[in-house]
């Protein structure tokens, strides 16, 4: 019996087959490339192309990666509301991306807080950020402190660059060599040397705006008059806005002067423009070009605008006046 049973077992074993089941394929990692330049200047455009080309090659050289898409912005690194940057973050939340590949930390963000917050959010989603130039991967915990340090350096570089630009502009203002002194406005054009000269056709409109305003017409009625006569606005449009009329009436260029520093840029990372109400220096160049309006008439217009304004400053605060100027009421008096 024993020998027979043993024979059966051997026969059964000879019928057995072993099939190897392969491990599940992990699939390719979906990689998003993010690139950024600060301006739309031609040289910057070339830099953007180089960034994209370099990072695409990095993706192609890795057999475990597949390019999901390229995201690029032409904006300051201090601005986190960059269109493609926001689209990138959205696609990350939609679980479409495994890896974000960036050339360098400064291209991703120049604000240390924003950098760390974004990296932390992406790590929480299981998404790795790779900074190619620094050879840093956010998946490696030991790099967190280094990323923070490099982010601080990138922020400092941005602040330094911003200050250098401001100083360069200021030096041009002081020396009188800034091209902003000869920037065109309605009523003027530039000659071959880039100097402002009077555009007689537009200058007639400027003179008429001052005359109509000082004769008692409101800004709205002046705009209506110019629109009815088919005169193009400074922007080349068929409709004159009240703001366009106000800009003409308040522009010191029409008396041959140029005032620079009317606005200023906020401190990093808030790079917004603000009206300069005396917080910073301004630079006035007199006799910069030929005037269109006599100084006396220009000053009369400024006083008239103050008189008609419905806003007055009381103890440093802006308040509405009890009465408001009306050209209709004046014409009936």
> Could you tell me where in the chain the CATH 3.40.50.1390 domains are found?
29-158
Cα angle, residue 50 at apex, residues 47 and 54 outer, rounded to 5°? 145
Position 90 confidence tier, pLDDT thresholds 50, 70, 90: very high
Task: Indicate the pairing of strand 188-190 with strand 311-314.
Answer: unpaired
Q: Which residues of the chain form CATH 3.90.1750.20?
A: 179-332
Q: What is the pTM of this model?
A: 0.48
Q: Which residue has the higher pLDDT, 301 or 20?
A: 301
Residue 109 pLDDT greater than 60, yes or no: yes
What whole-number distance in Å separates Cα of residue 235 and Cα of residue 298?
23
pLDDT digits (tens, 9 = 90+) for 217-259: 999 999 999 999 999 999 889 999 999 999 999 999 999 998 8
d(CA 172, CA 150): 33
The CA-CA-CA angle for residues 149, 152, 153, to 5°, reads 90
- What CATH fold (topology level) applies to the domain 179-332? Hect, E3 ligase catalytic domain fold (3.90.1750)
Nearest to 77 by CA among 34, 45, 132: 34
C-alpha 40, offset from chain centre = 10
pLDDT per position as a tens digit, 309-327: 865 544 545 455 555 555 5
DSSP state of 87: H
Alpha-carbon Rg of the chain, whole angstroms?
Answer: 33
Over residues 52-78, the mean pLDDT reads: 88
pLDDT: is 287 or 171 the higher one? 287
Q: What percent of the chain lies above the pLDDT cut of 90? A: 40
What DSSP letter does each residue of 156-211 carry, written as one string? HHHHHHHHHHHHHHHHHHHHT--GGGG---TTEEE-TTS-EEE-HHHHHHHHHHHH
Residue 329, pLDDT above cutoff 70? no
What class is the 29-158 domain? alpha beta
Structural contact between residues 71 and 36, judged by C-beta atoms closer than 8 angstroms: no
Strand ranges (DSSP E) for the chain?
A: 29-37, 65-74, 99-102, 128-131, 136-137, 188-190, 196-198, 258-260, 263-265, 273-275, 283-285, 311-314, 317-320
pLDDT digits (tens, 9 = 90+) for 117-138: 888 889 889 999 999 988 888 8
Q: Quick one: pLDDT band at residue 92, thresholds 50, 70, 90?
A: very high
Tokens of 226: 């110019």
């Amino acid at each position: 019996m024993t020998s027979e049973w043993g024979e059966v077992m051997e026969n059964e074993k000879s019928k057995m087959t072993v099939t190897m089941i392969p491990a599940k394929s992990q699939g390719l990692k979906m990689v998003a490339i993010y690139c950024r330049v600060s301006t739309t200047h031609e040289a910057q455009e070339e830099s953007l192309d180089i960034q994209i080309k370099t990072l695409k090659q990095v993706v192609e050289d890795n057999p475990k990666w597949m390019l999901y898409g390229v995201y690029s912005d032409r904006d300051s690194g201090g601005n986190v509301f960059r269109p493609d940057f926001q689209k990138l973050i959205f696609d990350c939340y939609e679980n479409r991306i495994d890896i974000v590949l960036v050339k360098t930390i400064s291209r991703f963000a120049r604000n240390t807080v924003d950098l760390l917050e974004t990296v932390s959010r992406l790590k929480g989603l299981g998404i790795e950020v790779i900074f190619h130039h620094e050879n840093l991967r956010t998946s490696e915990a030991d790099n967190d402190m280094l990323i923070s340090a490099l982010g601080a350096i990138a922020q400092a570089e941005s602040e330094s660059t911003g200050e250098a630009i401001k100083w360069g502009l200021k030096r041009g203002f002081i020396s009188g060599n800034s091209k902003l002194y000869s920037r065109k406005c309605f009523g003027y054009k530039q000659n071959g040397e880039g100097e402002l000269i009077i555009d007689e056709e537009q200058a007639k409109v400027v003179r008429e705006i001052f005359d109509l305003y000082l004769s008692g017409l409101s800004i709205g009625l002046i705009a209506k008059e110019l629109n009815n006569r088919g005169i193009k606005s400074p922007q080349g449009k068929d409709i004159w806005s009240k703001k366009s009329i106000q800009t003409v009436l308040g522009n010191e260029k029409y008396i041959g002067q140029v005032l620079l520093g009317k606005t200023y840029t906020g401190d990093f990372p808030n790079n917004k423009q603000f009206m300069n109400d005396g917080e910073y220096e301004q630079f006035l160049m007199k006799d910069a070009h030929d005037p269109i309006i006599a100084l006396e008439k220009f000053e009369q217009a400024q006083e008239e605008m103050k008189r008609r304004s419905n806003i007055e400053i009381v103890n440093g605060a802006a308040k509405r006046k009890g009465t408001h100027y009306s050209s209709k009421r004046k014409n009936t008096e």
